[in-house]
Amino acid sequence: MSPDTNFIEIDGQKIPFTPGQTVMDAALAAKIYIPHLCHYPGLTPSGNCRLCVVQIGTKTTAACITPATAGQQIVNDTAALNEARKSITQMLFIEGNHICPSCEKTGNCKLQAMGYYLGMLDDHFPQFYQRREIDASHPDIVLDRSRCILCDLCVRASREIDKKNVFSIAGRGTDAHLIVNSASGKLADSRLEKTDLAAAICPVGAILVREAGYQVPIGQRIYDCLTIQETGLQESIEDNNDG
């Protein structure tokens, strides 16, 4: 290691970083897990979900959009921060229609896995029961907006990796929703293909490839075998494309 290597500390552990890395980049490179849903290695960070909030000095900030700076003293794994993350996860559940036992994504869903990881036992908040449009116009892909958590991973994947710009987020606050960038606003009239990263990267059951669900039996699904912490330290764009 070069004598010029810069370091930050996360929960007392000294780890190196390179100029341009965020706190999240440096943490994942050092195999330190910071909970997250909207972050994915290789995509531009957006700071949407706020699950990766950490404490630096007297301030809290999202690790995925905060540049690593030499000498930072970062607090990540505490009861208080994890309780705040659990509250955010509970709010994500009640803002959409996440009925896990009947969802095709169950066992492979990051939101569900995050609930397990953070010890979430109930929704805590009143359910919204959002009525959002389902787009089943595409021959290979179904878009169920009622399960969208507005992480915008599909937006960034389509724009940065697939080079198609199929999706966008429109509206603000409780009116925010995922839209399709086609003349009709329908998936059928977009350039989205089932082999695109944007079709595979959704962490929940909002974007589903037809005729691919329920093929992996209970006990062999992703989060039957691994925790979200374990998968979160292994992710890469290349692995997702290969899958």
Look up the CATH number of the domain holding residue 160. 3.30.70.20
205, pLDDT greater than 90: yes
Q: What is the pLDDT of residues 139-185, one digit of tens each?
A: 999 999 999 999 999 999 999 999 999 999 999 887 899 999 999 99
Q: What is the pLDDT of residues 206-225, one digit of tens each?
A: 999 999 888 889 899 999 99
Residue 136 shares a structural domain with residue 238: yes
Domain membership flag for residue 88: no
Residue 41 shares a structural domain with residue 151: no
Residue 164 shares a structural domain with residue 203: yes
Percent of the chain residues past pLDDT 90, beyond the cut: 81
Domain membership flag for residue 47: yes
Identify the pLDDT of residue 153: 98
102, pLDDT greater than 60: yes
- The domain tally of the chain equals 2
96 φ/ψ angles, rounded to the nearest 5 degrees: -130, -175
52, pLDDT greater than 60: yes
Residue 114 shares a structural domain with residue 228: yes
* Adjacent-strand bridge partners of 169: 178
Residue 154 shares a structural domain with residue 51: no
- CATH number, domain with residue 48: 3.10.20.740
Identify the pLDDT of residue 129: 73
Domain membership flag for residue 179: yes
Identify the pLDDT of residue 175: 84
Domain membership flag for residue 87: no
Task: Give the span between the Cα atoms of 129 and 95, in whole angstroms.
Answer: 7
Domain final residue pick, 44, 77, 110: 77
Domain membership flag for residue 229: yes
Q: What is the CA radius of gyration of the chain?
A: 18
Contacts 24+ apart (CB under 8 A), 23-29: 23/54, 23/56, 23/63, 23/64, 23/66, 23/67, 23/68, 23/72, 23/74, 24/52, 24/63, 24/64, 24/66, 25/68, 26/68, 27/63, 27/76, 28/232, 28/233
1, pLDDT greater than 70: no
Residue 125 shares a structural domain with residue 49: no
pLDDT tier, 3 (very low <50, low <70, confident <90, very high otherwise): very low
* Adjacent-strand bridge partners of 7: 16
Residue 72 shares a structural domain with residue 124: no
Q: For the ranges 51-60, 99-108, 124-133, which has the lowest average pLDDT?
A: 124-133
243, pLDDT greater than 50: no
Identify the pLDDT of residue 241: 53
Residue 146 shares a structural domain with residue 193: yes
Domain membership flag for residue 85: no
Residue 135 shares a structural domain with residue 224: yes
Going through the chain in order, the beta strands assigned E by DSSP cover 6-10, 13-17, 53-56, 59-62, 73-75, 134-135, 141-144, 167-170, 177-180, 207-209
Average pLDDT of the segment spanning 13-19:
95
Q: For the ranges 113-122, 179-188, 190-199, 208-217, which has the lowest average pLDDT?
A: 208-217
Domain span at residue 180? 102-242
Identify the pLDDT of residue 70: 96
Domain membership flag for residue 213: yes
Domain membership flag for residue 72: yes
Q: For the ranges 23-37, 105-119, 212-226, which has the lowest average pLDDT?
A: 212-226
Residue 211 shares a structural domain with residue 159: yes
